[in-house]
Every structure is written in structure tokens, then in C-alpha cells.
A and B are shown apart, each in its own frame.
Chain A
Amino acid sequence: MTTPAATATTTGTAAPRTSLARIFVTEALHEFLKLIRIPIFAVSTITLPVMFYVLFGVALGGGEAGGVGATTYMMATYGSFGVIGAALFGFGVSVALERGQGWMRLKRVSPMPPQAYFVAKVAMSTTVSALIIGALFVLGATLGGVRMPAAQWFSLGLVLVLGALPFSAMGLAFGYLVGPNSAPAMLNLFYLPMAFASGLWIPIHQLPAFVQGIAPALPPYHFAQLALGTVGAAEGGPAALHIVVLLAFTALFLTVAAWGFRRDEGRTYG
């Protein structure tokens, strides 16, 4: 090792400004590179909802649900399922893994703008969500024979992408609550039953009555109902109610995450 010459030891206030946009782009790009270089995560997050849609929506479907074709209905529900998975795992597992490690501490002592970390993760989970939604739309339009006006495709896609927000917050809260090793298992224990009980796999009206009673307490139910609303298959309550409930859950999860973030400050250094 050699030493760099004392080039800029007296860097004053006239130093060029760092570009926030460039930092965000680099951070998001690296988040993406990290992911595609470990394909297991991406493959399972993307293929699971797509595979379920093909099996239960396209192969077994053919009937109708909620007043629309089953392939249309399930495009909305498995779309919700996929987006929730990408957000929960994209945030939950990575935050749980990274917060316990020196890497996060190194980032925290660097002049990285703190929001860059979260912007990169949001960009990442949005990209994965968009890939899932794109795959489902292509399968729906071809194998599923889904026919809708362009505006409906667009609004369904938009609702699905925006739905990542409350579940990113949920993943974040999880990431701060659970340990790095148990994170994937804990998330699955939570995610899969919750998805089932919210009517993401089997249309909600086909579920046992007591499950239908629980569903309104679960955030994915409200998300799925919003998505179904765009294709005219919603049941139970106006869209505004679902939006309010999801925003309330988002606030709750962010509060928990912020608490966990502060708790970490004391824990990282002993």
C-alpha cells in the first residue's frame, strides 16, 4: 500500500456538490446487480406468482369469479400476491440481513444520504413488481384470453405497482424486528397464510365464512380489492375505505420500522 499525496486536505466550502441523482442511480443499479447475481431470490419471487397463476388461473380456471372471467380475476389477485412478495422479501430479508452487518454501519458513517438506501430498495422492489405484473399480463392476454380496454390494463397495473408501498413498509418493519437468520422463514410463515386468507389464491367468496370474517383485518385483502376494483370484480366496501386502511397500515409499519431503526443504534455498538 502506498499513500495518496495530500491533494485536497484543505477542501473548502467551494467543493463541487455531490449529485444526489447520481448517488440514487448508482445505489439502485448496485441493488439490482446484487440481486441478479444471486438469482435465487429473483427467481422465486417472480416465478411463484406466475406459476400459481398459470396453474390455478389458466389451467384450472376457465370459469368466472366476482362477475368476471377467472383468468381476469386471478390476474388481479396473483398480481397482488406477487407485488406483496417482492416488497416483503425485497425489504424484509435484505434489511434484516444488512442491519446486523458492518456494511450498514459503514454506510451510516459515510456521507451517503440516508434516503439513498431506501430509494434504492424501492426502485428494486418496484422493478421486480413490474416484471411480475408484466409476466402476468402477457400470460393473461395470451393463454388466459383476457380482453380489457387499454385503460383497464393501465389502471390495474398502476394499482398493483402502487400497492408495493404498504408492503414495503411492512417488510421494513419486519426487517427491523426479526433476526437475519430467521427472516426468510418468518416472512413466509406470515406471507403465505395471510395471502391465502385475503383471497389472493382462491377468490375470497369461495373461502370458508370464518376466513372471510378475518380477511378485512389483513392488509392484502384491501390491496386485492383495490386491484379487483379496476377490473370490476370488487366486493365489500368502497375503494376509499381500502385506501384509508392501507395508508393506516403503512403508517403503523413505518412507525414500527422507525422504532426498530432507533433501537438498532444502541445495539450495533457495545
Chain B
Amino acid sequence: MTTTQQTHDDLSAGHAAPVLAELLSASKQFGSGAATVQAVRGLDLEVRPGELLALLGPNGAGKSTAIGMLTGLTAPTSGRARLFGRDPRDVRARRRLGVMLQASGVPQTLRVRELLTEFRGYYPAPLPMAQVVTAAGLDGLEGRMFGELSGGQQRRVLFGITLAGDPDLLVFDEPTTGLDVEARRGLWATLRDLARSGRGVVLTTHYLEEADAQADRIVVIDRGVVIAQGTPAEIKAQVPGRRVRAQTSVSVAVANRWPGVARASREGPWLELLTGSAEPALRALLDLDPHATGVTVAEPSLEEAFLALTTDMEAAR
């Protein structure tokens, strides 16, 4: 990531890719004294038009806190958050922002049309109602009360609310959680289209495969700090490429010293190695223990790669 220090006071001045929103070494802690929880630590983040940025991390990693600071729900304890060059709590900044939270508690007795009208009214140049309804797949549901809708339909209403103001930046907190495979695929396609239309799209997810397949840029967060970021290819390049398993008596300590081995672990009779390439490790293994059996070599799942990244962090701490 580049560390541009340009001024964002006038975004219309015509920078090639103005920053829509950014966090500048933002930290957030909750509570005080012994009960202090450091949710996010020195986080740098920027979102540009036309990009789909995935904030990836396990539950409790600080993704929602990061989103909260970016959207002005919560103020950083230290550092800064900027939205369209302003404080994110500035109404003028929010007029260009659409957010889909993991919302609950939408009034059950308001109709879809009423909900969309309410939110469209907040924006100076909202998307026409008919366009919101079509874009969110709500045709024919306008007159229904929110409480009468299915879970998927309710999600679509929230999506419609996000689009209502025709925002330049769209932020989605865990948008695909609880969706079936098909709905998830549909949503990703929609988000891709939104980014292609020149808007900035940020989302949080803990589905690594999704982020890998769809995002332009991934920022991996764990325990409140960025542990990796870049294009999906760059991220994957940072994690071991092969997983070797074998039944052997070789100890973890010995295996950890072999060339290329990022991490060795033992599970009963099984030794497991995460390594950049399999061959040097295999050679070392069979040299030391010719009787090793059940040898398999596999590509680690993205889930495992992700796990390797996050546990490396833990070890380094």
C-alpha cells in the first residue's frame, strides 16, 4: 500500500484516484483499567474509487471496529479516520456513504416502500425509487411490512437502503453471512458491478475463498492489527505453498530446522509440515527416517494458509 499524504480537502480537484475513506494509524480501545480491550491497534487503511476491498479476519479480529471508525459510528481512541476528507461523523461526508450493517431490529411494522423513502430522504440526490427497488430485487415487495418478509428478502431491503442515496462509497459488514451459496454468488457479482461502476466497495468477511476470488485488495486483520495486505495473489505468496504429512518418529523440533519449513506440528503418529515447496522437506524426511509411511503432499487450503498467517503473528508476539 502506498502511504500518500496528499490533502483530501477537495476531492473534485481531480487526483487520479482520490482516497474515499481512510484510517491513519487508528487505534480503538474499549473500557478502561484492567477491563481495557484493545480492539484495533494502529490500523492504516484506504479505499479508492472502483476498488473492491475485503477486510478479512477471524471473529473478534477488529473488523467491525474498523468499519465503525470508517463510518463514524465510533471515534478512534488515537489516530484519525477520514471520510471524503472529513470527519466521518460529519453529515456532509455521510451523504456520499451507504452502509449495510449486520442489522437487526428494523421496525417490523414499516413497509418496504416506507423504509426506502425514509432513507432516500436523507440524501441530496437519491437513486430514484424504482431503481432502488429493481437493483435490490424488491419488485412486488414494496407494499409488504418488513416483519412479513423472509430472511433473504429482509437482507435485500437492507441492501436497498444501502443503495438508496446513490453513494460513492459502500460499506458492507459481513454481507454474505447466512446466505446460501447461490445468494452469496449473486451478491458478490453485484458488489463487483458496483466497484466497476466507479464506486468504492468495502466489505468484511471471514470467508477467505470469497475474498480471494472477488476482491481487488485484501487486508487481513487479526487481533486488531493488519497482518497482511495486497492483492489476493500477493497474500497467497506470503503463506506456505505445500502441506506434507507422514507417519514418522522425527520430532517437531528437528523438522522445524529443515529448509523451507514454515511450521511443523505433530498429531499422534502424524507429523505435519507447512512448507514453501515439498521436495526439500521430503528429501530431509526420508534421509532421516527411511521408514516414514503414509506420506502425502497437498496444497494447503486457503483456510490453513490464513491460519498459518494468524498463528505466526501469535508466535511473534
- A residues with CB within 8 A of B: 1-13, 15-19, 22-23, 26-27, 30, 33-34, 37-38, 97-98, 100-106, 108-113, 265-270
Quick one: CB contact mask for B74-86 with A, threshold 8 Å, 1 for yes? 1100000000000
Cα-based distance from A267 to B158 in the complex (angstroms): 23
A110 to chain B, nearest CB (A): 5
Write out the residue numbers on chain A whose beta carbons fall within 8 Å of the beta carbon of B134. 2
16 pairs across A/B with beta carbons < 8 Å?
Answer: A2-B137, A4-B131, A9-B197, A11-B168, A16-B124, A23-B121, A23-B122, A103-B107, A110-B122, A111-B94, A111-B97, A111-B122, A267-B30, A269-B30, A270-B37, A270-B64
Write out the residue numbers on chain B whose beta carbons fall within 8 Å of the beta carbon of A100. 105
Interface stretch of the complex, out of B111-119, B204-212, B267-275, B293-301: B111-119
Write out the residue numbers on chain B whose beta carbons fall within 8 Å of the beta carbon of A5. 197
Complex contact A34–B137 (CB within 8 A): no
Complex contact A103–B30 (CB within 8 A): no
Residue of B nearest to A16 (CB): B124
A6-B199, A269-B74 given as contacts; is B166 within 8 A of A15 (CB)? no
Instruction: Tell which of B73, B102, B187 touches A109, judged by Cβ atoms closer than 8 Å.
Output: B73
Residue of B nearest to A19 (CB): B121
Write out the residue numbers on chain B whose beta carbons fall within 8 Å of the beta carbon of A9. 49, 168, 197-199
A6-B198, A16-B125, A105-B101 given as contacts; is B187 within 8 A of A1 (CB)? yes
B255 within 8 A of A: no
Complex contact B121–A265 (CB within 8 A): no
A269 to chain B, nearest CB (A): 4
Write out the residue numbers on chain A whose beta carbons fall within 8 Å of the beta carbon of B72. 108-109
Write out the residue numbers on chain B whose beta carbons fall within 8 Å of the beta carbon of A113. 91
Write out the residue numbers on chain B whose beta carbons fall within 8 Å of the beta carbon of A18. 95, 121-124
Cα-based distance from A104 to B64 in the complex (angstroms): 16
B31 within 8 A of A: yes
Complex contact B101–A106 (CB within 8 A): yes
A9 to chain B, nearest CB (A): 5
- Could you tell me which residues of chain B, from 12 to 67, have a CB within 8 Å of some CB in chain A? 12, 30-31, 37, 39, 49, 64-65
Complex contact B107–A1 (CB within 8 A): no
Complex contact A4–B127 (CB within 8 A): yes
Cα-based distance from A266 to B68 in the complex (angstroms): 10
Instruction: Tell which of A97, A101, A110 touches B94, judged by Cβ atoms closer than 8 Å.
Output: A110
Quick one: CB contact mask for B138-180 with A, threshold 8 Å, 1 for yes? 0000000100000000001011010101101000000000000
Complex contact A33–B197 (CB within 8 A): no
Write out the residue numbers on chain B whose beta carbons fall within 8 Å of the beta carbon of A111. 91-92, 94-95, 97, 122-123, 165
B251 within 8 A of A: no
User: Considering only CB atoms and an 8 Å cut-off, how many residues of chain B contact the other chain?
Assistant: 64
Cα-based distance from A106 to B116 in the complex (angstroms): 13
Residue of B nearest to A9 (CB): B198
Complex contact A3–B197 (CB within 8 A): yes
Complex contact B75–A26 (CB within 8 A): no
Cα-based distance from A16 to B12 in the complex (angstroms): 17
Complex contact B65–A1 (CB within 8 A): no
Residue of A nearest to B199 (CB): A9
Residue of B nearest to A97 (CB): B105
B173 to chain A, nearest CB (A): 9
Write out the residue numbers on chain A whose beta carbons fall within 8 Å of the beta carbon of B105. 97-98, 100-104
Given contacts A26-B117, A34-B109, 17 further A-B contacts (CB under 8 A): A1-B135, A1-B136, A3-B194, A4-B131, A9-B199, A15-B95, A16-B125, A22-B121, A23-B121, A23-B122, A30-B114, A34-B110, A37-B109, A106-B158, A109-B72, A110-B99, A266-B74
Write out the residue numbers on chain B whose beta carbons fall within 8 Å of the beta carbon of A38. 109
Complex contact B125–A15 (CB within 8 A): yes
A7-B127, A17-B124, A270-B37 given as contacts; is B102 within 8 A of A102 (CB)? yes
Complex contact A11–B68 (CB within 8 A): no
Complex contact A103–B103 (CB within 8 A): yes
Q: Which of A10, A100, A104, A108 has the most CB of B within 10 A?
A: A108
B270 to chain A, nearest CB (A): 38
A4-B166, A18-B124, A103-B104 given as contacts; is B114 within 8 A of A33 (CB)? yes
B186 within 8 A of A: yes
Write out the residue numbers on chain A whose beta carbons fall within 8 Å of the beta carbon of B104. 101-103
Write out the residue numbers on chain A whose beta carbons fall within 8 Å of the beta carbon of B110. 30, 33-34
B311 within 8 A of A: no
Instruction: Tell which of A109, A112, A265 touches B75, judged by Cβ atoms closer than 8 Å.
Output: A265
Complex contact A102–B101 (CB within 8 A): yes
Complex contact A34–B107 (CB within 8 A): yes
Write out the residue numbers on chain A whose beta carbons fall within 8 Å of the beta carbon of B119. 110
Q: Which of A100, A103, A111 has the most CB of B within 10 A?
A: A111
A33-B110, A38-B109, A269-B65 given as contacts; is B74 within 8 A of A4 (CB)? no
B71 within 8 A of A: yes
B217 within 8 A of A: no
Write out the residue numbers on chain B whose beta carbons fall within 8 Å of the beta carbon of A4. 127, 131-132, 135, 163, 166, 197
A35 to chain B, nearest CB (A): 9
Cα-based distance from A19 to B121 in the complex (angstroms): 8
Write out the residue numbers on chain A whose beta carbons fall within 8 Å of the beta carbon of B95. 15, 18, 111
